[in-house]
């Protein structure tokens, strides 16, 4: 107890003394005198934003570490640049326009090795007077020198004006390579940015993939880091004509092999900055023309067909209402079995698979267009990003393959039992029904007396066979490109890219414009034809949509022993 009291008595005076002691003053910021005048209030203004500067890799630097060579009598009198420095500034419009070109030249004081790498790259030729126009400075790629964040793989701190990641790297390259004026002056290839965006690499970068390569990943000279891992050096970008360039002819397969084990020269041709339709073979271009015309003509015909049918449906509804006609309640309560459980299960698998393929594949295809990038990112984000969507895309592909196999087995078993119906086969009767239906849609009268399946339903059915062959066949090529590149010619791989994209566009547009109208949206069956769920159709709808089959059904009931 005495010890405790003694401790308390001693503590109070010490605490009081500590409270009375003046607070230790914080060390003054050596840059504050500069900040008093040279502060920018928002990004883009000349000056420093102290908060962002404090988060940058240069936060510990004093202003005069980069802004050097000031002389008496005042803080703004600079010694004139001489020699190589003066020549360098004279060659660069960006440096000449800068209020502090010395700050850019000062990068070499700390990053001498990097400066040497840039000097040896295609981007450093201008500094030696070996290029038509001046190339990039450090700030061209790294952004504001006052706000440079650490490493391209490290997320930028909140408030930093310069983002990081593959998309940001590509955007830096595009500053010059997408500028028509600069491209023309420098004599560069003008479409590299467009072809990159339209490639699978560009689309993945645009949609936020952490695995897709940016420009420097392929064009940067490969060097081993401190751990012996071969990595691209973004500061040492070599011209593709340079034998040491990673994208020079003999090196391209090895560059692709960093991500795609086993890649060969045939595979490497797939990722060139070229339109797939204009490869070394004429076959891809021919297929591109064929599928473009096929898609255009098919959609134009059926879009016109939908418009005429909608007009005819409305006209029919008005006439029926004026005449006071309606469906017979007795016919509404009687049903005919149209699809069995196996047929409906096949349709459900195909339906879910195709819709999933569309919502996971189309955003990636659209990501090649700058206007659609943000929308594509949001849609793919619902599935965990482009790679989550890719996994679901493959699962959906397996679903439609199972559906197709299921249906073929179904046909084989019914054929073996001699119960296979051939009513889905096209025939001469369909030609007459097409003529009669167009006449009905334009002029009125009676709708053709379709049998069990109309020509539209037959087209739907056989289009699935065509689509399965096209989409599944080319899908496997795109799923296992390295394998197919080992055994197949390059034109086949390029053709697979074209067919998969063109056929997918045709199939999805047909599905959502034509099939959904015929099966769900046309006025006579809206909100849908329930047969895909129940397998049954009322006699009233059967008479309306398939009068020929209905009349056959009535005849059989009249004569049970034909």
Range with the largest mean pLDDT of 18-27, 151-160, 263-272, 283-292: 283-292
Whether residue 12 is predicted with pLDDT greater than 50 in this model: the reply is no
Whether residue 11 is predicted with pLDDT greater than 80 in this model: the reply is no
Question: Under a CB-based contact definition with an 8 Å cutoff, are residues 127 and 95 in contact?
Answer: no
CA distance 219 to 346: 48
Q: What pLDDT shows up at residue 558?
A: 65
Q: What proportions of the chain, in percent to the nearest 5, are helix, strand and coil?
A: 60, 5, 35
* 543 CA to centre of own chain: 47
Question: Under a CB-based contact definition with an 8 Å cutoff, are residues 478 and 497 in contact?
Answer: yes
Task: Determine the average pLDDT of the residues in 71-92.
Answer: 75
| Beta strand pairing call for 335-337 and 536-538 | antiparallel
What is the overall mean pLDDT for the chain?
Answer: 84
> How many Cα atoms within 13 Å fall on the side-chain side of residue 537?
22
Task: Determine the average pLDDT of the residues in 233-247.
Answer: 88
Whether residue 562 is predicted with pLDDT greater than 60 in this model: the reply is no
Which residues face 538 on adjacent strands?
Answer: 335
Contacts of 430 (CB under 8 A, 6+ apart): 455, 458
Alpha helices (runs of H) in 162-246, residue ranges in sequence order: 166-177, 180-186, 192-197, 200-206, 215-219
pLDDT tens digits, 226-237:
666 667 888 889
E strands, 24-126, in order: none
pLDDT tens digits, 121-168:
998 888 888 888 888 888 888 877 788 876 544 344 444 444 557 788
Structure token digits, residue 431: 């030609």
Which residues face 78 on adjacent strands?
Answer: 70
Whether residue 313 is predicted with pLDDT greater than 50 in this model: the reply is yes
3-state secondary structure of 110: helix
Q: Which residue, chain included where needed, has tokens 């064009």?
A: 219
Q: Which residue, chain included where needed, has tokens 């379709």?
A: 450
* Orientation of helix 283-323 relative to helix 490-510, angle to 10°: 10
Lowest mean pLDDT among 174-183, 437-446, 500-509, 549-558: 549-558
Three-state secondary structure of 198-212: CCHHHHHHHCCCCCC
Question: Under a CB-based contact definition with an 8 Å cutoff, are residues 336 and 553 in contact?
Answer: yes
Higher-confidence residue: 49 or 388? Answer: 388
Q: Which residue, chain included where needed, has tokens 């070599």?
A: 238
pLDDT tens digits, 488-537:
998 999 999 999 999 999 999 999 889 999 988 888 888 888 999 999 99
Whether residue 18 is predicted with pLDDT greater than 70 in this model: the reply is no
Q: Domain boundaries in the chain?
A: 50-158, 165-268
What is the per-residue burial (b if ≥16 Cβ within 10 Å, else e) of 319-328?
A: eeeeeeeeee
> How many Cα atoms within 13 Å fall on the side-chain side of residue 95?
22
3-state secondary structure of 97: helix
Lowest mean pLDDT among 21-25, 45-49, 380-384, 417-421: 21-25
Q: What pLDDT shows up at residue 393?
A: 97
Lowest mean pLDDT among 223-227, 467-471, 483-487, 534-538: 223-227
CA distance 88 to 265: 40
What's the alpha-carbon Rg for the chain, to the nearest Å? 35
């Amino acid at each position: 107890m005495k010890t405790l009291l003694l401790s308390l008595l001693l503590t109070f005076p010490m605490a009081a003394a500590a409270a009375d002691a003046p607070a230790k003053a914080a060390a003054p910021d050596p840059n504050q005198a500069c900040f008093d005048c040279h502060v920018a209030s928002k990004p883009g203004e000349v000056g420093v934003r102290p908060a962002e500067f404090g988060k940058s890799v240069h936060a510990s630097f004093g202003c005069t570490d980069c802004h050097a060579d000031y002389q008496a009598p005042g803080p703004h009198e600079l010694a004139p640049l001489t020699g190589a420095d003066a020549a360098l500034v004279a060659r660069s419009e960006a440096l000449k326009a800068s209020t502090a070109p010395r700050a850019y030249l000062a990068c070499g004081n700390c990053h001498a090795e990097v400066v040497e790498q840039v000097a040896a790259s295609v981007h450093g030729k201008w500094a030696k007077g070996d290029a038509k126009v001046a190339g990039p400075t450090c700030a061209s790629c790294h952004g504001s020198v006052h706000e440079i964040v650490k490493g391209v793989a490290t997320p930028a701190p909140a408030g930093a004006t310069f983002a990081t990641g593959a998309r940001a790297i590509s955007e830096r390259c595009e500053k010059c390579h997408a500028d028509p004026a600069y491209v023309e002056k420098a004599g560069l290839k003008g479409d590299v940015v467009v072809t990159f965006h339209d490639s699978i690499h560009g689309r993945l970068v645009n949609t936020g993939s952490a695995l897709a390569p940016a420009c420097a990943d392929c064009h940067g000279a490969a060097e081993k880091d401190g751990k012996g891992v071969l990595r691209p050096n973004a500061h040492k970008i070599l011209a593709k004509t340079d034998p040491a360039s990673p994208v020079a002819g003999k090196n391209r397969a090895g560059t692709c092999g960093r991500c795609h084990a086993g890649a060969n020269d045939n595979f490497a041709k797939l990722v060139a900055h070229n339109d797939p339709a204009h490869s070394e073979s004429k076959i891809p271009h021919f297929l591109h023309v064929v599928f473009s015309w096929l898609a255009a003509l098919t959609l134009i015909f059926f879009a016109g067909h939908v418009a005429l049918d909608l007009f005819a449906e409305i006209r029919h509804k008005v006439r029926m209402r004026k005449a006071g006609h309606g469906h017979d309640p007795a016919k509404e309560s009687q049903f005919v079995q149209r699809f069995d459980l196996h047929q409906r299960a096949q349709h459900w698998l195909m339906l879910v698979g195709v819709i999933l393929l569309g919502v996971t594949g189309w955003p990636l295809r659209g990501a090649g267009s700058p206007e659609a990038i943000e929308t594509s990112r949001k849609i793919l984000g619902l599935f965990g990003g482009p790679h989550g969507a890719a996994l679901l895309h493959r699962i959906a592909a397996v679903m439609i393959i199972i559906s197709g196999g299921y249906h073929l087995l179904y046909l084989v078993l019914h054929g073996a039992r001699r119960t296979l119906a051939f009513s889905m086969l096209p025939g001469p009767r369909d030609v007459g029904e097409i003529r009669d239906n167009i006449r009905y849609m334009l002029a009125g009268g009676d709708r053709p007396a379709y049998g069990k399946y109309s020509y539209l339903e037959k087209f739907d059915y056989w289009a699935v066979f065509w689509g399965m062959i096209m989409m599944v066949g080319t899908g496997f090529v795109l799923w296992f490109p390295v394998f197919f590149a080992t055994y197949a010619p390059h034109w086949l791989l390029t053709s697979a890219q074209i067919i998969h994209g063109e056929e997918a566009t045709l199939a999805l547009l047909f599905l959502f414009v034509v099939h959904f109208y015929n099966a769900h949206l046309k006025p006579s069956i809206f909100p849908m034809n329930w047969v895909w769920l129940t397998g049954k159709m009322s006699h009233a709808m059967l008479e309306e949509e398939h009068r020929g089959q209905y009349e056959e059904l009535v005849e059989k009931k009249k004569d049970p022993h034909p």
